[in-house]
Amino acid sequence: MIIYNVTCNVEHSVSEDWQKWMKEIHIPEVMKCGIFISANMNKVLSRNDDGDTFAIQYKCNSMKDLHQYEI
């Protein structure tokens, strides 16, 4: 099992809209490719005053699958 992690720092002023876009549009679009078996988005607790940090984790079965996605 492979976890493909994407970490994003989002300005506070757009954080709520960005989260909605990720959950309703972007993550479902990525999942449509058929490579990943699950996706999870979490807010990362940090002392970053520049914005909110999120970790988006996509799970796939193998590195071969991940490389196929990256192509």
Distance CA 40, CA 34 (A): 16
pTM of structure: 0.89
Indicate which CATH number applies to the domain containing 11.
3.30.70.100
Is 9 within 8 Å of 51 (Cβ atoms)?
yes
Please say whether the dihedral angle defined by the alpha carbons of residues 37, 39, 40 and 44, taken in this order, is positive or negative.
positive
Which residues span the domain enclosing 19? 2-70
pLDDT band of 70, cuts 50, 70, 90: confident
30-57: pLDDT as tens digits: 999 999 999 999 999 988 788 999 999 9
How far, in Å, CA of 24 to CA of 29, rounded?
9
How many domains does the structure of the chain reveal? 1
Q: Are 31 and 39 in contact, with CB atoms under 8 Å apart?
A: yes
Q: Looking at residue 39, what is its pLDDT?
A: 98
What letter does residue 71 receive in the DSSP assignment? -
Q: Each residue of 5-23: pLDDT tens digit?
A: 999 999 999 999 999 999 9
Q: Is the pLDDT of residue 71 over 80?
A: no
